[in-house]
Structure 1
Amino acid sequence: MNRLAKLGDDDNYALACLQFLPETIRANRYLVREGDRVDRCCIVVEGYACRDKLVRKGERQIVSFHMRGDLLDLQHSLLPIADHNLTAITDVTVGWIAGETLLELAQKHPRIAQAFMKDSLIDASISREWVLNVGRRDAKTRVAHMICEFVTRRQNLGIASEAPVSLPFTQQQIGDATGLTAVHVNRMLRALREEGAFDHGDRFLKIADWQKLRAIGEFNPAYLHQAA
């Protein structure tokens, strides 16, 4: 929260006193299903998760990725019906907290309320960039851009400070996030490897040249508002 607002000692103490209910969810399992009645939010403690939506015939669109330190679905403190799925990408450990508790916290601590608002606004900014990425960039660029965002957000959270970085995505998951088939993703990753942006990996993709990947993805991190 301190990266989103200048919190005082009383704010930090109130956050430290919050009671979370820990839970570990296996990869590819739901934390929340679209249509569920939900009255709690969660913070990611370890691992990776995503928000996604399904069409009637079962195809999935991933609309955001989330990692350690992310506060997920703050909207459920005010909107009780889930409008998307929350799914574990890897095994993920989260801490659940009642939405009502977060509302009370925001009411008593204006600077924490400001941090919550900034978090929601940045989330909306990232969503706009994802719409642009899927709607207007070519296949290779959108794959490179998606991966650049993921790496940059990890660095901003202090999870990893430099390349090379191993990425915990399957080709299907990359396809679900970029609107491509797994076969098309495979071709784009091969092209990125041939251009020197990636090394070959067994289970994980490994970035070989960060600057080259960033150039191919036309990646400008301003929309992440890292200095907000």
Structure 2
Amino acid sequence: MNRDNDHSTQCIVLISGFAFRHKISKDGKRQIVSIHLAGEVINLQSLFLEAMDHNLQALARCSVVLIPISALRSLIFARPPIYAAFIIRSMVEASIYREWILNNGWRDARARIAHILCEFAVRSDALGINHGGIYNLPMTQEQIGDAVGLTAVHVNRTLKSLSNDGLITQSADCSAPTA
């Protein structure tokens, strides 16, 4: 999708599927810093920041709409309610980021994974993309680990613990949990 230091001329609206933002450390480790669901503008910062400071990657098959940044800037400056909506969305994203920092900084493994699963469920509910309380989180255990700062082995053990306690179930055809 987009890479660190790219100069984007278009904003990307995720119509279907899932995507994530990530950074790569100097030693090559990936840190997933956000997950994006259908209906979200996944590179909103490109409206005002010249270069990307992270990578965007599809998590599952996606459909997107590309909107020229110049057209979107004209629209938001001409329509204050639309501009306000973009500011509100930016504030929501900032709030989610603060929670991720707390999650990865001070919560234990069980709470980290439970939090990301609950966040996914709440956001899916808000967008109307759940299926009767069943959530399809198309992430591997390695990807979940990259989002919460744990190894895939630790994620596997923690998911089993959450499952054994009846807090989540996992479908047989998917390595990712359902909440």
Total equivalences in the alignment: 178
Deviation at 1:121, TM superposition (A): 0.7
2:61 is the counterpart of 1:88 = no
Q: Aligned pair in 2 of structure 1 residues 179, 206: CA closer, same or farther (>3 Å)? A: closer
Residue of structure 2 in register with 1:218 after alignment: none
1:36-93 superposed Cα distances (whole Å, 9 cap, x missing partner) = 1112111001100001000122110011000110012121121110000001111111
TM-score, with length taken from structure 1: 0.75
Deviation at 1:165, TM superposition (A): 2.2
TM-score, with length taken from structure 2: 0.95
2:153 is the counterpart of 1:183 = yes
RMSD of aligned alpha carbons: 1.3
Structure 2: distance between partners of 1:163 and 1:49 = 21
Larger gyration radius, structure 1 or structure 2? 1
3-state SS in 2 of match to 1:32: coil
1:167-201 superposed Cα distances (whole Å, 9 cap, x missing partner) = 21100110010000001000100101110112242
- Structure 2, unaligned runs of 5 or more: none
Residue of structure 2 in register with 1:122 after alignment: 92
Identical positions, percent: 42
Structure 1: distance between partners of 2:17 and 2:136 = 13
Residue of structure 2 in register with 1:20 after alignment: none
Residue of structure 2 in register with 1:10 after alignment: none
Residue of structure 2 in register with 1:28 after alignment: none
Q: Which amino acid aligns with 1:126?
A: I
Equivalent of 1:148, from 96, 115, 118? 118
Question: Are the aligned partners of 1:155 and 1:161 in contact in 2 as well (CA < 8 Å)?
Answer: no
Equivalent of 1:137, from 83, 104, 107? 107
Q: Which amino acid aligns with 1:90?
A: A
- Structure 1, unaligned runs of 5 or more: 1-30, 211-228
3-state SS in 2 of match to 1:45: strand
Question: Are the aligned partners of 1:74 and 1:99 in contact in 2 as well (CA < 8 Å)?
Answer: no
Question: Are the aligned partners of 1:36 and 1:82 in contact in 2 as well (CA < 8 Å)?
Answer: yes
